[in-house]
Structures are given as C-alpha cells and as structure tokens.
Amino acid sequence: MLQAGGSLLVLALMLPVIGILLIMSLDARHTGKIALALMPAGLAVALAIAARVWTTQAGLEYFIGGWAPPLGVALRADGISAVMLVTTSVVIGAAGLFARAEFRQPDNQPEARAPLMFWLLLLGIWAGLNAVFLGGDLFNLYVALEMLTFAAVPLVCLSGKAETLAAALRYLLFALLGSALYLLGAVLLFGAYGTLDIALLAARIAAQANMASPVWPLALWVALALMTVGLLAKTALFPLHLWLPPAHSGAPAAASAVLSALVVKASFFLIVRLWFGMLPGLTPWLGAQLLAALGAAAILFGSVLALRQARLKLLVAYSTVAQIGYLFFVFPLAANPAASTASAALAWTGGWMQLVSHALAKAAMFMAAGLIAETLGHDRIAGLGGVARVVPITVIAFALAGASLMGLPPSGGFVAKLLLLSAAVSQGLWFWAVVMLLGGLLAGGYLFRVLSPALGPLPAGWTPAARIPRDRQAVALVLALGAVLLGFAPLKSYDLLQFGRPAIAGAVTR
C-alpha cells in the first residue's frame, strides 16, 4: 500500500469539485478565471501521478479516511489511469482555452446563463472523469458515472434549441438505462462476493475459480453482462450509438470536443477495468470476440454513415461512432489465450494509443469543425468551398487530425492501428485486421469529402459570417499536432501503460 501518494489522488479528484463550489459561491465574473486557473494545477497533479507511477513502476493506492476495503473505498491509479488523467487534463485545458472568449461573462451587465453554466458543467465533467479513472470501488464508480452524465447532458443542450433538447433527452435516457444496468450488476456482485472493491473482487473471484470443485458463478456472468451492456450504452458502441451523433453535433464545439474525446471513453475504461481488472485471466473468450464484432460493425457502419452526412459536425460525430469500434479489438487481442505475452501487450498498448490519439484528434476536429461553421454561418459540407483560404490554420488542424484518424504515418493513430493490426495478424485473427484496414480507407473517404472542397476556390462575392481569432485556431492546431506527434513518442514511454496491469494473456476461460 502506498498511502504516501494518496494526497495526489485525492487532489486530482477534488480540484474540479473545489472549482464548482467556488464558482457557485462567488460572483459570476470570476467564473472563467477560476476554471482556467484550476486547469494547469490539474495538469500538474496528473503529471505528478504519472511520474509516481513511472518511478515506482506500480500502481498508487489510497484508502479514503484510512478505512480499508471492503468497508471503505479505495482510490487507485495504475498506468492507464495515469495516462487517462493526463489526457483528460490536456483536452479539458484545451477546451477551456478554446472556449475562453466564447463563454466570457459580459462586462457591466447582469450575469449571463450560458457562460456560467458552461464552466460549471465542464468542471463537473472533469471531476466525473477523474473519479472514473481513479475509482477502485464499483459503487463509487456508479456515482462517478452519474456525475459524468449529469454534467454532459446539460452541455449538449446548452444552446436551448429544440433539436439539442431532444438530443439531450435521448442521451439522458440512454445514459440512465446504462447506469441502472451497471448498478444492478454491482448489486449482484456485492450479493455474491460481499465487496464492491474491484481488487478484492478479483481476488475472491480468482479464489473461487481455483477451488477444486469450481462453482458455476452464474451471479458473476449475469452481473458482468448487465454491467457491460449498461456501459456499452454509455460508450455508444454500435448498435447502442443512436444517441451520440445528434448529441455530439448539437453541443457547442468546445463541449463536443470533450464529449467525443473523453466522456464516451470513460465508460470504455470501466469495461476494461471489469474485464481485465476484475477478471484477470478469466476474460470470457466468446464475449471478447462478440465485443470485437460489435466494434467491427461500428467501424463499418459509422464510417459509411459519416460518408453520407450532409453536415460537417454530424460527419465528425459519426466518425466517433466508427473510431470507438477500434477500441474493442483490445478485448480479443489482449486476452487471447493462444497469444504470446508480447503480442497481447502489443494489442493492449495499441488500444490505449488509439484511445489517446483519437481523443486528441477528435477534440481538434470538433474544434476545427466548430470554427469552420462559425466562419461560414453554416456547416453544410456542400458549402465548404474555399474555406481553407479563410481559416487556413483551422483546415490544417482538421487535416492533421484526419490523418491520425485514418492512420497515416507517422501519426499516433498510425502507431495505434499498426500495433492492433500486427497483434491481430500475429494471432491469426486476420479478419479483424481486414476490418481495420477497411475502416482506414473509409475514413480517408469521408475526410476527403471535407478537405477536397475546403481546399478549392472560394465562391465569388463571399463574406465570412464571423471572424475567427488566431488563438482559437491555434488550440485546435496544437491538439491535432499532439495527435500526430504521439507517433514519435519513444517506445520506452509505452511501458507506462503496462504498470499495474494485471497479467492478462495465456489463461483465459473458453
């Protein structure tokens, strides 16, 4: 137990909460300043946690109040938590910088609604994300998931337009169904094993599996199925993706960036925690293949629908539906009983690389799409002609982010897909490799649909609907560059993802 690092974990969890409480009790003029001041602090804490995990090469653990599980609640940070915490603070910080001018309280006027709400909800999302990445207790994670839902849904309909209200309502109903199923599963696990702590559950489940006369743990599989389906609804994996495109395309650009880059990943993160963390070596092989099949369907279906969209933000949203699919190849590839440890580790790293590079690229892309729409006054793809001449930096950001999504070298997306691809090929699961290649081609197709007119000539007599300041474009560009430069990260740094990871390959129940 490393109680020493505990204050860092608590701080990561509580910084955004402090921000919410401060904003609620102080004058609205300070709203943006408070939120923006917390963001570098949050990044510093996340980096400190990552550094600690890196130097100790193990996970951090903190028992809140000194009460050890099963009675108390543990916070835990392993390699993937650290990576997610850092990614989260980067993307949230970028979204804050991007939205700074847009959501500024008007001077010498009564408080305005949208600016106040935006910052509160952004901090709420941040708090929820950190709670998900650090949570070691299934019920605590349920509360964290609800925090995320309650902050994300109002962001979707921040503008108050009827279509965004409808999208938010649909999102809320999906999310609530997801939480209810998750909670039900957690309840059954408590009934069967007497704890909600993931590490203790893993130990008790493993002990049960090792008994001479193994009991058929029906409770475990029913609970796992319920929780997984619930979390899939929140992750928007095909065919539970229906809520995502209207919700993500209707939100303000900064919010869409956060929702698409991070919020859907939080529930994916929890599925991984359950399947790999709670069931080390027991991952059900058939279920893993099923998840990958749904992922493959998501890639094909999402990409084809993205190709057919008439509006830029919807295209980007459907691209999220497709890119989420890649993440689910981690399940069969990293838990393949026939795979070598090296190959499984390759798939594991590839999956997380895909997650991080997609987070950066998609945040950049939503910001760029938002800026393009602001310049043009609309976001119809048919009317994108010549937009590169007006906002070149934005279009470059969009193109770079697109390169990472397609998997063009040397981007982070390329490395991610290469790792997954080589794992699939080396394990003889070539059909998943085919889908990945096909997905790359389709992504190229839908991005070409945007970039080709954007780089063309401007229509005669065109005037911009709004002037876009350089610094907002720069934020999108930096994120897109980040997604590309991830491909240059030294191989050694990938080890971070492996720290604190339970052994997963080689012992899978069939």
Partner 1 sequence: MSAALILDACLVLLVLAVAVWTIAARETFPAIAGFVSYGLLLAIVWVRLSSVDVALTEAAIGGGATGVLLLGAAARLTDRAGRRPAGIGLRIMAGALCLAITAALAFVILTLPDPAPTLAPQAVAGLPATGVGNPITAVLVAYRGIDTLLEKIVLLLAVIGVWCLTPDDSWGALPAPWGTARQDDAIVLLARLLAPVGVVVGVYIVWVGADDPGGAFQGGTILAAMWLLVMMAGLIAPLPATSRRLRRVLVAGPALFLAVAFAGFAMSGDFLSYPPAYAKWLIKLIEAALTLSIAAMVGVLVIGPAVRKR
Partner 2 sequence: MTAEQLYGLCGAGLVGLGLFGLITAELPLRRIVAFNLLGGGAFVVFGVIARRGAAAGLGGDPVPQALIITGVVVGFAATALAVTLVRRLHEETGTTKFDQDELPPETVKLSDATLSGGNP
Binding site for partner 2 (CB under 8 A): 70-71, 99, 102-103, 112, 114-115, 118, 139, 142-143, 146, 149-150, 153-154, 157-170, 172-173, 176-177, 179-180, 183-184, 187-188, 190-191, 194, 246, 249-255, 311, 313, 370, 373-374, 377-379, 465
Tokens of 314: 């919807």
CB 44 within 8 Å of CB 89: no
Q: How far apart are CA 45 and CA 187, in angstroms?
A: 33
Q: How far apart are CA 484 and CA 67, in angstroms?
A: 44
In the complex with partner 2, the residue whose CB is nearer, 102 or 495, is 102
Q: How far apart are CA 263 and CA 227, in angstroms?
A: 17
410 membership: H or E segment, kind and range: none
In the complex with partner 1, the residue whose CB is nearer, 246 or 325, is 246
CB 412 within 8 Å of CB 485: yes
435 membership: H or E segment, kind and range: helix 430-454
In the complex with partner 1, the residue whose CB is nearer, 158 or 324, is 158
Q: How far apart are CA 143 and CA 210, in angstroms?
A: 32
**What's the min distance (Å) between Cβ of 134 and partner 1?**
11
Q: How far apart are CA 326 and CA 354, in angstroms?
A: 7
Residue 14 partner contact from partner 2, partner 1, none using kind-dependent CB cut-offs of 5 to 8 Å: partner 1
E strand residue ranges, 164-210: none
Residues 131-170 that bind partner 1 (CB under 8 A): 131, 139-140, 143-144, 146-147, 150-151, 153-154, 157-158, 160, 165
Give how many residues touch partner 1 by CB under 8 A: 58
17 binds partner 1 (CB under 8 A): yes
99 binds partner 1 (CB under 8 A): no
Residue 193 partner contact from partner 1, partner 2, none using kind-dependent CB cut-offs of 5 to 8 Å: partner 1
Tokens of 318: 């459907």
Q: Is 202 exposed, middle or buried (0-12, 13-18, 19+ CB in 10 A)?
A: buried
**What's the min distance (Å) between Cβ of 111 and partner 1?**
6
CB 466 within 8 Å of CB 377: yes
**What's the min distance (Å) between Cβ of 393 and partner 2?**
18
In the complex with partner 2, the residue whose CB is nearer, 48 or 68, is 68
Find the binder of partner 1 among 193, 268, 328, 366 (CB under 8 A): 193
10 binds partner 1 (CB under 8 A): yes
Find the binder of partner 1 among 1, 37, 51, 71 (CB under 8 A): 71
**What's the min distance (Å) between Cβ of 87 and partner 1?**
22
Residue 391 partner contact from partner 1, partner 2, none using kind-dependent CB cut-offs of 5 to 8 Å: none
From the list 361, 365, 389, the residue with the least C-alpha distance to 375 is: 389
Q: Which long-range contacts (CB under 8 A, 24 or more apart) does 66-69 make?
A: 69/136, 69/137, 69/195, 69/196, 69/197, 69/199, 69/200
**What's the min distance (Å) between Cβ of 216 and partner 1?**
10
Q: How far apart are CA 18 and CA 490, in angstroms?
A: 36
What is the end-to-end Cα distance of the chain in Å, rounded? 34
188 binds partner 1 (CB under 8 A): yes
In the complex with partner 2, the residue whose CB is nearer, 186 or 421, is 186
DSSP 502: P
Q: How far apart are CA 274 and CA 269, in angstroms?
A: 9
Q: Give residues in contact with partner 1 (CB under 8 A).
A: 3, 6-7, 10, 14, 17-18, 20-21, 24-25, 62-67, 70-73, 110-114, 117, 120-121, 124, 127, 131, 139-140, 143-144, 146-147, 150-151, 153-154, 157-158, 160, 165, 184, 188, 191-195, 218-219, 222-223, 226
